[in-house]
Structure 1
Amino acid sequence: MTDWLMYGLAGRDPATVKTNTILCNTHVIPALGARKLRDLSADDVDRWLADKAKALSTRSLEAIRSCLNRAVKRAMARDNVKRNVVELCSVPTGRTGRPSKSLTLKQAEAVLVAAEDSPLYAYFVVSLLTGGRTEEMRPLRWDHVDLEGDPDVVPEIPPHIAVWRSVRSTGDTKTRKSRRTLALLGRAVDVLKVQRERQGRQRVAAGDEWQETGLVFTSAVGTELDAANVRRELRKILARVARVPGIEIEPHEWTTRETRTSFVSILSDRSIPLEAISRLVGHSSPAVTEEVYRKQTRLVIQTGAVAMDGIFGTSPPPKR
């Protein structure tokens, strides 16, 4: 396991290496590290996974099995073991993970009002109104923002942002289809104009301490926002929302990812087709959107009803 951690993750993102190291040192090595590799059996792995299923989610179980599987594969490639028993073992169902949540329209409106005094107001407006991932919003650059559009061409080009980067080590978005260009509605355009002016004042105030990054959303000295700081700011805003009569919300239970789930939920509640939502959030297919945001989408399968209505028409009035 230590050999795989040291050499088998070469070239991976530092965050990926850190995550795998924590998983191995916490869950794999203490339980199985003392076993001789040639003596490790599928029953050993099954028992280990079953024991871990009492405390870990299914997703975490998949992650620790993957670590063990890849380490044993590496050992096989070096003739340290003849077969990989891990591949014979399936992942059991683990504990239910924390379910994702989404804001209702009323809650979302309250968040936007409560965020007006926040230094990250523009960030939360654009995130909530475009459905961008936090890893896509934090590295957004001004040269990927067009606040004017081009009304003189056909078809007209509206104001938009180009979601072409992420905070990943390569700078690429999560998938090829995550690379997309999103139109901006008027409210988002307005807050970004204000954000540009505000950033200009910050640049002057910071003086020599300012670091020019070209980013839209920055700290007071121009550096990229930290994910933890964004999450803390969101919870401060939600704490103010929680004091609004008629709105019940637990600020500490929310993460920045849930501005994205809220975007999906609000559009779905307004009967926006799943295919359109899928394109907006940068998924490879509507099936991915349905699987990932199953609790946020309100699917109504009406193809059959529409077709049969065309065949049979409306029902005759009942006889009196």
Structure 2
Amino acid sequence: MRKASGKTKTEAKAKLKENLRDLEDGHAIAPHRYTVAEAVQDWLQFGLSGRDESTIETKRILAEKHVIPALGARKLRNLSADDVDRWLAQKAEEVSTRTLQELRSILKRTITRAQARDKVKRNVVMLCELPKGRPGRPSKAMNLVQAEAVLNAAESAAPWLRAYVVLSLLTGARTEELRELTWSLVDLRGRPAENGMPEIPPCIMVWHSVRAGGDTKTSKSRRTLQLPQRCIVALETLKKRQDVARKAAGDDWQDNDLVFATRTGTKLDAGNVRREFRRVVTRAGLVGKEWTPREMRHSFVSLLSADGVPLENIARLVGHAGGSAVTEKVYRQQIRPVIQEGATAMDRIFPTAPQGGTGEP
């Protein structure tokens, strides 16, 4: 038996006809009381399997702050494209375009999941255009004078922080790639050319990242980078100091083989890295709170471009999946014309290689 009810006979008949159409089309009859909030919570609980914990937490915060309060009480079957358009227009006045994209994606994926379970016929979000949100915080890059000041300020920092700043700025590695770097993927000696085999210079193998599964952002992000001399010196100092810390920690030491680790060998927290990095930036004469670790990567691109390194080479060095097109799109304001490669260029830009920092672990 199929039943339907409404405040009037006409409304009840319309709902009954809708139920019969669903039955004829092979659709299950979803509960009329199933709300957007229930659909979102279902997606948060079951639709993010395999994702990094920080990603899940970010999605949850966005959903509970922006999606559920505005649309959660709506019956999912009754949600219209007009409802979504009005919601997106309202949010465009409050958040950046990037955040607006995230919010639209959460709602779209929520309804896609519900649609696959016959709880709604169509995904109305697919009918809605994304408006332009508020301008977000623009990423920026350091010029040569600022970068040199930061490198000098890092010399008095703890060895791990000094090495972190130097590698970030002189190799362009992502902060999540450096936090996952292990000593087994660091070659500080290299190998001379012999027996027909090519020379292997000192290098780091950027093969992992602090992401779900430990993979890099894309397959092309998996790369091996020659180390500038300044990086070699910083890493050698860090390795010696870490050996001392290992002995001091004794049984408390956790041997994770991490290059950038705490006093007991565990992973560094992203928030702590950001805070310590800003202290270095402040000592360099800049406003610490205006800079983030990821902008060392932007600075790497900017400095190489200003020195004449070809865009194609920069794209390969930073591991962009779409090659120079992605590099130009993401770092457009930092890109300038064209000529050589990473470590060689950085040794030329920053020729001085200090013989060890003075900071404590």
Q: 1:271 maps to which residue?
A: 308
The alignment yields a C-alpha RMSD, in angstroms, of: 1.1
Q: Distance in 2 between matches of 1:292 and 1:130?
A: 17
**Per the alignment, in what secondary structure is the counterpart of residue 155 of structure 1?**
coil
Matched, 1:108 2:150: no
Matched, 1:250 2:287: yes
Matched, 1:290 2:328: yes
Q: 1:175 maps to which residue?
A: 218
Instruction: Determine which of 71, 86, 89 is the counterpart of 1:32.
Output: 71
Q: 2:249 maps to which residue?
A: 206
Name the CA shift for 1:299/1:35 in 2 (closer, same or farther; >3 Å).
Answer: farther
Q: How far apart are residue 10 of structure 1 and its match?
A: 2.3
Total equivalences in the alignment: 294
Q: Distance in 2 between matches of 1:75 and 1:139?
A: 36
Q: 1:152 maps to which residue?
A: 193
Instruction: Determine which of 30, 34, 53 is the counterpart of 2:92.
Output: 53
Matched, 1:136 2:174: no
TM-score with structure 2 setting the length: 0.80
TM-score with structure 1 setting the length: 0.90
Q: 2:3 maps to which residue?
A: none
Matched, 1:222 2:265: yes
Q: Which amino acid aligns with 1:53?
A: A
Q: How far apart are residue 152 of structure 1 and its match?
A: 2.5
Moved over 6 A (4+): none
Instruction: Determine which of 317, 321, 332 is the counterpart of 1:280.
Output: 317
**Per the alignment, in what secondary structure is the counterpart of residue 28 of structure 1?**
helix
Q: Distance in 2 between matches of 1:94 and 1:53?
A: 4
**Per the alignment, in what secondary structure is the counterpart of residue 161 of structure 1?**
strand
1:19-66 CA-to-partner distances (Å, cap 9, x unmatched) read 111111011000001111121111110000000000111111111111
Q: Distance in 1 between matches of 2:306 and 2:185?
A: 30
Matched, 1:166 2:205: no
Instruction: Determine which of 238, 243, 247 is the counterpart of 1:195.
Output: 238
Instruction: Determine which of 259, 266, 276 is the counterpart of 2:296.
Output: 259
Q: Distance in 2 between matches of 1:213 and 1:81?
A: 48
Q: Distance in 2 between matches of 1:187 and 1:130?
A: 11
Q: Distance in 1 between matches of 2:293 and 2:264?
A: 22
Q: Distance in 2 between matches of 1:168 and 1:11?
A: 10
Instruction: Determine which of 26, 40, 43 is the counterpart of 1:4.
Output: 43
Q: Distance in 1 between matches of 2:153 and 2:267?
A: 23
Q: Distance in 2 between matches of 1:225 and 1:115?
A: 18
Q: Distance in 1 between matches of 2:177 and 2:337?
A: 27
Matched, 1:76 2:115: yes
CA contact (8 A) 2:50 2:212 kept: no
Instruction: Determine which of 281, 290, 296 is the counterpart of 1:238.
Output: 281
Q: Distance in 1 between matches of 2:51 and 2:301?
A: 31
Q: Distance in 1 between matches of 2:108 and 2:139?
A: 29
Q: How far apart are residue 96 of structure 1 and its match?
A: 0.6
CA contact (8 A) 2:180 2:258 kept: yes
**Per the alignment, in what secondary structure is the counterpart of residue 170 of structure 1?**
helix
Q: How far apart are residue 299 of structure 1 and its match?
A: 4.1
Q: Distance in 1 between matches of 2:228 and 2:43?
A: 49
Q: Distance in 1 between matches of 2:45 and 2:179?
A: 30
Q: How far apart are residue 155 of structure 1 and its match?
A: 2.9
